[in-house]
Amino acid sequence: MFHLPFVYELSPLYLLQVALTIWMLIDANRRGVEHYWFWIILFLQPIGAWAYFFIYKVKDFSRGNRSGGNDWLTNLLTRRPSLEELRYRAEQSPTVTARLELAERLIETQEYDEAEPHLVAVLAREPDLGPALFALAECHRRRNRPADAIPLLQKLITQRPNWRDYLAWHLLIDTHQSAGDHAGAVTQARKLVQAAPGLEHKCLLANCLVAAGDPGEARQVVAKALEEYRFSQNPGRNDRRWVGKAKQLLNELGG
């Protein structure tokens, strides 16, 4: 009989590392992160997969734990430098990474005026960098300049429709709504449903239709979405989380 002796020599730690790598690759694809992360995860073993886990994946556990029981562990593992330190780094070495990290922190603290020049400088060097496009669009939106934000988000969506789990698409729809362009919001929500027809996005479309003055179609969209979910043989995990919200929305619409 032919044997594969090397199979028996694989250690449990090696198998766990392989499993972690596959898990992080799947998550990176779903999240729509920058392409270089795939190379980091694959070829910088074992550090690459763990780096991705602590930078991106660990935040999912923090968001999912509403009681905050494990927040101390998340904060310990992902402790960030202070804003003053980020300013110092950007001044001493104004690299793309340093300026982008500073700009994103400034947006968190609602200091949009200071963040914008850093993002403009980043995009001058890397025009297609997703996080910079998104962050600058957020700056424009927060400063009531939707006409400047929309082209940036459209560019990002064209390049990576599923970027960070469709986050850019959500912001684009919100930007249209904030500007009072409800027809534009409905148009983008329809495109999002075509790209990713889940319950969450169909509820988003329904809300856009209500804002645009069409509760009748909104009710039809939600009712059909719930019917499709009911008879689906393999519903997605995110759809299961949205069933309750979809039913509540249908009740509010008189369904």
Which token pair is 16? 């766990």
How much is the average pLDDT of 20-35?
79
Secondary-structure class of domain 80-180 per CATH: mainly alpha
- Integer Cα distance of 244 and 25 in angstroms: 30
Please write the tens of the pLDDT for every residue from 79-118.
678 999 999 999 999 999 899 999 999 999 999 999 999 9
Q: At residue 56, what is the residue type?
A: Y
User: Does 72 or 38 have the greater pLDDT score?
Assistant: 38
Q: What is the mean pLDDT of the chain?
A: 86
pLDDT at 164 over 80: yes
Res. 180 pLDDT band, cuts 50 70 90: very high
CA pseudo-torsion sign 126, 128, 132, 133:
positive
Cα gap 180→233, rounded to integer Å:
39
In this predicted structure, the answer to whether residue 187 has a pLDDT above a threshold of 90 is: yes
- 143-154 per-position pLDDT tens digit: 999 999 999 999
pLDDT of residue 36: 84
Bond before 46 cis per omega within 30 degrees: yes
- Give pLDDT, residue 31: 66
- Closest by CA to 179, choosing from 214, 215, 153, is 153
Question: Is residue 232 scored above 70 in pLDDT?
Answer: yes
* Other Cβ atoms closer than 10 A to 84: 8
Asked whether 176 and 153 are in contact (CB, 8 A), the reply is no
pLDDT of 223: 96
**Tokens linked to 144:** 């009531």
Structure tokens at 188: 């983008």
- Tokens representing 83 are 């804003």
